[in-house]
Chains A and B, each alone.
Chain A
Amino acid sequence: MFWVATGIFLTCYVAIVSEKIHKTKVALAGAALTLLLKVLTQEDALHNVDLGVDWNVIFLLISMMIMVNIMSRTGVFQYVAIKAAKVGRGNPFSIMAIFAVITAVASALLDNVTTVLLLAPVTLLIADELEIDPVPFLITEVLASNIGGTATLIGDPPNIMIASKAGLNFMDFIVHVAPIIIVIMIVWMLFWKLVFGKRLTVSEKLKMRILAMNERDMIKDPALLKKSGLIMGATILGFAFHGLLHYEPATVALAGAATMLLVSGDDPHHALVEVEWPTIFFFIGLFIIIGGTVKAGLISFMSQQMISLTAPTADNTLVLSMVMVWFSGIASAIVDNIPFVATMNPLLVELAGKIFGSTGVAGLQHPNMLPVWWALSLGACLGGNGTAIGASANVIVIGMAEKAGKPISFIRYLKYGVPVTLLTLAISTCYVYVRYYLLA
């Protein structure tokens, strides 16, 4: 069974990385094989918390997608963007920086792909009006969405998966990850000011075009905006207190999505059809494949290798944490960070069991284990910025740019992605070291 599971896992990984076949097809085929070859039983795959599909992740993703689908119809996101461009007085660097902040905040609360999907058209229009190249703006938004998404439990799929596996709650991420993300945003924007501040200049006449834009007519459905805004606010509040209230994040999100569907008055067909089903099924397939490798012992073997490489003990996990930031960062720049985290999660659970003697809360949330999870989160989410294929938001924006006649080559993306990834991973390394080891 060990070799069967390993074979399925490796073949699927190679097929996903090669991008010759759509990753969802690969994941579902791998899952089917895992079940057909009896590596996992269907009971394991669908109902076993340790081996099977993590329904907490699946329902959280679906529910958030439904809520965003309904809210995006109100026009509020694009209204905010145009308003912000006017606040920036049509000055290109100000617009770039304000858009980066808006993208980061929105990505922390919504999924990154939706955020960039809504902002990219506004960016293309503003660049058109200012007669400047939209590419630096678009890449800045991609980078900001991956950075902002790192800040919260619901911001980026790796965090959703990590939280579910390690039993961490929304406030844990706010306390441990969000502060360093704010620092990263500030440092990055100062760096960007040095790079773009002088390069981006346009005439006063062109700036006036931005000021002449009319954002008032953009809110299509003010009544729906009021209702859905309230529900979204309540849901975020629900996330903030889900730990205290003993609800899983998926329960909070499902309640929000159901309420929004009820009050929106529309046929649920639209909101449901726009759920990114290929991503959802990718997760389902992946969970089953990884479950197979856990049951067959591959993950246990890999965790043993990681222990011998980084020599963590119950008292000292410094090397492991430091390696985790960079290993996750580099791996996530090259392969999709979702399968990467799906693999690392059970590996770290095994590892916690071996060094802390428990795979329950005592082991997974041991004070010396927590920094390892934060290192994985920071590395996996921020590493997604490294290359054009590192995260879904990158792929989506590059596709949109190409459709709009502004193609972004792989190399051109790297020129932005690599320096920012190195900068953010370096800051994360210092943060994990100083906060959890030097000052602990």
Chain B
Amino acid sequence: MHIALMMNKELTRVAPDTDFASLLAIHAGTDTRHTYVVDAAGRLVGVITNLDMMGKMIPSYLTSTLASSISDGAELIQKRFAENAHLTASGVMQRELVTLQPEDTIIEANVRLHEGRFNALPIVDAQGVLVGDIGRKDILKHIAKDICGLPGML
């Protein structure tokens, strides 16, 4: 069973020069798991996760012990926002990408998600053009509906 059949095609794509404020608004305002950074030809060049955005807004050096010493973190976060204002998507995105191909199977996709602890993985065609993404929910939905025959219960 190829993942092309169940992949999510409604993706959030942004250009590499998208500014930081817009990125924050996109991640805060939509249900998107990832923002995909693509070039003019639609080829995938990077991925920005909610975690990446959080990493830019909340100091990554904080430990759980230390976090409980901060009574009000709003000022720290505002400072981060000001410091990051100059960043663009290409400065925030992850560049080392794990991608899937449309003809990969759901078993393969699930193993790759599991091994790298990813929430979702992008799917690119032979030219590197982003065609969709897939997460555990998509696979589960497919398993329940098409393999186990439970369409009525969904």
Contact = CB atoms under 8 A, between A and B. Distances in A.
Contacts of A125: 59, 61-62, 66, 69-70
13 contacts: A75-B65, A78-B63, A82-B66, A82-B69, A121-B61, A121-B63, A125-B59, A128-B79, A213-B70, A213-B71, A215-B69, A400-B61, A403-B61
B30 interface: no
Contacts of B127: none
B66 A122 contact: yes
Nearest to A217: B68
B61 A79 contact: no
Contacts of A131: 79
A201 to B, nearest CB: 19
5 smallest beta-carbon distances between A and B, as pairs: A75-B65, A217-B68, A121-B61, A124-B61, A78-B65
Contacts of B59: 124-125, 128, 404
Contact of A121 (B62, B68, B71, B76): B62
A128 B60 CA distance: 12
A305 interface: no
A403 B65 CA distance: 19
A218 interface: yes
Given A82-B69, A125-B66, A129-B76, 5 more contacts: A82-B66, A122-B66, A213-B70, A214-B68, A218-B69
A161 B63 CA distance: 33
Contacts of B64: 220
B66 A78 contact: yes
- Best-surrounded residue of B61, B62, B65, B79 (most CB of chain A within 10 A): B65
B75 to A, nearest CB: 8
Nearest to A82: B69
A128 B76 contact: yes
B87 to A, nearest CB: 11
A253 interface: no
Contact of A404 (B61, B72, B79): B61
A187 B61 CA distance: 32
A99 to B, nearest CB: 14
Interface of B: 59-66, 68-72, 75-76, 79
Interface of A: 75, 78-79, 82, 120-122, 124-125, 128-129, 131, 209, 212-215, 217-218, 220, 400, 403-404
A218 B61 contact: no
A131 B142 CA distance: 51
Contacts of B72: 212
B61 A217 contact: no
A120 B68 contact: no
A400 B60 CA distance: 10
B69 A214 contact: yes
A218 B60 contact: no
Contacts of A214: 68-71
A204 to B, nearest CB: 16
Contacts of B76: 128-129
Nearest to A77: B65
A233 B68 CA distance: 27
A82 B65 CA distance: 11
A120 B71 contact: no
Nearest to B56: A405
Contacts of B65: 75, 78-79, 218, 220
B95 to A, nearest CB: 17
Contacts of B62: 121, 125
Contacts of A82: 66, 69
B153 to A, nearest CB: 39
Contacts of A128: 59, 76, 79
A90 to B, nearest CB: 14
Contact of B71 (A212, A218, A403): A212
Nearest to A72: B65
A386 B38 CA distance: 46
A217 B66 CA distance: 9
Nearest to B84: A405
A373 B61 CA distance: 39
